[in-house]
A = this chain, B = another copy of it.
């Protein structure tokens, strides 16, 4: 795959060794995470809102109610910054100063485009459901024309994006290495618990494997 091209706003100035412009890294992060944070300059200042999403090829799909002001601003061509963060661990150094976090994050800049073609819109909604729960789409009642009309679906190109990450043990200053404080990493990950049936679910419908064995790719 072609690497991403750094731009004025994606070039990493301070700690370049934590950056990556490999498209594989970007895709892995976007495919593993469940929530993105969408930022834009609103009428009354910056706004950052969490959203579901999906990646398909070199696009990110966002969706929501046609009545959502934020989605309508995006549809109208307001610039967006979409950030996805995976928290992998807490890094405990001997010095307070070198405490850190192991993480992988992706930042995407761009302008979204509304999907208006019904087939394209449906494919994007399918991608979002399948991103969140692989295997679920074919086990649902698909969207009606009315539901489709009430849903705004946007595509954001993955042209201008960057990845930042930190992995591995703490890095203390040489003179601190012999101190008595424990040092290491507390790994973190998102875990699924036993699915909880809808209390209104009618009898005789077993919980599907995609729900009982839920886990994120790469996690």
Contact = CB atoms under 8 A, between A and B. Distances in A.
Interface of A: 8-9, 13-14, 34-35, 37-42, 44-50, 52, 65, 67-69, 79-83, 85, 87, 89-90, 92-97, 99, 101, 103, 105, 107, 109, 125-126, 129, 132-133, 136-137, 139-144, 147, 151, 169-170, 176-202, 205-208, 211, 214
A143 B173 CA distance: 12
Contacts of A42: 9
B193 A190 contact: no
Prevailing SS type, chain A contact patch: mixed
A94 B141 contact: yes
A176 B143 CA distance: 12
A189 to B, nearest CB: 6
Given A90-B132, A107-B48, A207 B182 contact: yes
A184 to B, nearest CB: 4
